[in-house]
Amino acid sequence: MRTSNASRDLRALLHVPQNDLQSQLSSRLERLGFPALRQAQIQILSAIGGVGADGVIDPNDTRGVRLSDLVSQLALPKQTVGDLLDELQGMRMVERFPDPDHGVIKRVRLGPKGKAWATEVKKVSAATEARWATRLGSKKMKSLRALLEELAATVESRGETRVNGHRVKTR
């Protein structure tokens, strides 16, 4: 265990817990037979899966999301999002369906495997957070969570994102 963090930059410090969580997720999902997913596919599943303001994936959200909204949210080209959706649909992770408000537009929601995936992600995330709370103590974990929530809100409220490497105002 390191005693001095002076030599590690913020990127490295954030990477350690993220890597731990990602390792736990990968291990559990692999044991359950889920396909290995690329980061972009995971981003799409999270966006489609009804991730609320609290950052929690809701596997029971059946409303889905419009492709155009997904493209805006992820700041990826429409063709890339379409290609990723095709791959995920082939794995039964997502399904496309007609928009009930507009017959021509398609929406995308989690498919059967995608719902099971989202449920497992939620379970592993909660278990990992509980494990960290045991190690840090509940008071420190609550403080850490509050600071991360504040940081996330601050970064998100800047109102800009990158599309094809260029800054774009989103608000």
* Residues 18-39: tens digit of each pLDDT: 999 999 999 999 999 998 899 8
Backbone angles phi, psi at 95, to 5 degrees: -140, 145
pLDDT given at position 6: 66
Per-residue pLDDT band for 82 (boundaries 50, 70, 90) equals very high
Per-residue pLDDT for 104 more than 90? Answer: no
The pLDDT of residue 2: 53
- What is the pLDDT, as a whole number, of residue 14? 92
Using CA atoms, how far residue 63 sits from 18, 31, 90, 107, 146, in Å, is: 29, 30, 20, 8, 30
Chain centroid offset of residue 125 CA: 11
**Residue 115 burial (10 A CB sphere; 0-12, 13-18, 19+):** buried
How far does CA 15 lie from the centroid of its chain? 16
Top pLDDT among 1 and 116 is at 116
Confidence grade of residue 17 (pLDDT, cut at 50, 70, 90)? very high
What percent of the chain is modeled with pLDDT above 90? 56
Reported confidence tier of residue 163, pLDDT bands at 50, 70, 90: very low
Spell out the SS3 assignment of 104-165: EEEEEEECHHHHHHHHHHHHHHHHHHHHHHHHHCHHHHHHHHHHHHHHHHHHHCCCEEEECC
Binned at pLDDT 50, 70 and 90, residue 116 comes out as very high
Q: What is the DSSP letter of 77?
A: -
All structural domains of the chain with their residue ranges? 10-136
The residue with greater pLDDT, 53 or 125, is 125
Distance of alpha carbon 39 from alpha carbon 1, whole angstroms: 29
Residue 141 to residues 11, 32, 54, 99: CA-CA distances in angstroms?
Answer: 20, 29, 16, 41
The per-residue pLDDT for 169 is 53
For residue 3, pLDDT over 70 is answered with no
Joined tokens for residue 35 = 């396909």
CATH number for the domain running over 10-136: 1.10.10.10
What is the pTM assigned to this prediction? 0.74
